[in-house]
Structure 1
Amino acid sequence: MSITANTLATSRCAHQVTALDEAAIAQHIAALPEWKIDGGKLARSFAFKDYYQTLAFVNAIAWIIHAEDHHPDLAVSYNRCGVKFDTHSVNDGKGGLSINDFICAAKVDAVFAQRNAS
């Protein structure tokens, strides 16, 4: 079965203890072309017209990531929001990337796409 942004976005996070290997990471990131691996984290930067739109986006994704119980690092400025996901519980607490990071990234992309379509 092919991994797509839609299948990721409609999936739910579950507790993970094993990190994805390099081949699985490559398959998952192919479905999310705007995302990159940065310092071992799944990262993307989003641009906005102004601070109000940036904060509206942050609030919208906060709702979703809280429901998934998988929280990213956020860097918020006037017209930009950086989002970085990783999973602290994998690899015996050493961290890494899990399916949850890609699920939440796809959900964040869906929020961004919806905001731009409005």
Structure 2
Amino acid sequence: MTSLAEQRCKPCEGGVAPLTLDEAQALMKQVSGDWQLAADGKSIRAEWKFRNFYHTMSFVNAVAHIANAEDHHPDMEVGYGYCRLNFNTHAIGGLSQNDFICAAKVDALPRT
């Protein structure tokens, strides 16, 4: 089985059902414990703290690179020493496997 981090996002313009809560919970087991599944099962969210702005922005830029390469973009909250990411698939109003692929790729980034 190919890990999520090794997979590529598939274009999603709608017309498919979002993951069920059970499907999302199963995929949560394949990403780090940093990620939290929303109570309604429609998004995943994580937050990281960094020692300074430089390290925060290095992480944010790496996430932006992943998002552009996968053509799947999170909502981001960024400030001095922190970054919060929220993934969902806007076109379907919930989660798709793309959200978990990107979360796994973010998990693989170094944190300093």
TM bracket, shorter-chain basis = 0.7 to 0.9
Structure 2: 5+ residue runs without aligned partners? none
Q: What do the CA deviations read for 1:77-109 (whole angstroms, capped 9, x no partner)?
A: 10000000000112xxxx000000000001011
Separation in structure 1 between the aligned mates of residue 3 and residue 17 of structure 2, nearest angstrom: 21
The TM-score normalised by the length of structure 2 is: 0.87
Match of 1:12 among 5, 8, 11: 8
**Residue type matched to 2:72 in 1?**
H
Q: What is the Cα-based RMSD across aligned positions, in Å?
A: 1.6
Separation in structure 1 between the aligned mates of residue 17 and residue 69 of structure 2, nearest angstrom: 22
Separation in structure 2 between the aligned mates of residue 12 and residue 29 of structure 1, nearest angstrom: 17
Aligned to 1:78: 80
Aligned to 1:89, what secondary structure does the other structure show?
Answer: helix
Larger proportion of helix: 1
Q: Write out aligned runs for 1:13-52 (5 A).
A: 13-16=9-12, 17-32=16-31, 33-38=33-38, 40-52=42-54
| Count of residues in Structure 1 that have an aligned counterpart in Structure 2 | 106
Separation in structure 1 between the aligned mates of residue 108 and residue 68 of structure 2, nearest angstrom: 16
Structure 1: 5+ residue runs without aligned partners? none
Separation in structure 2 between the aligned mates of residue 115 and residue 46 of structure 1, nearest angstrom: 9
List structure 1 runs of 4+ shifted beyond 3 angstroms.
none
**Residue type matched to 1:107 in 2?**
K
**Structure 1 residue 29: deviation in Å?**
0.6
Distance 1:98 1:44, change over 3 A: same
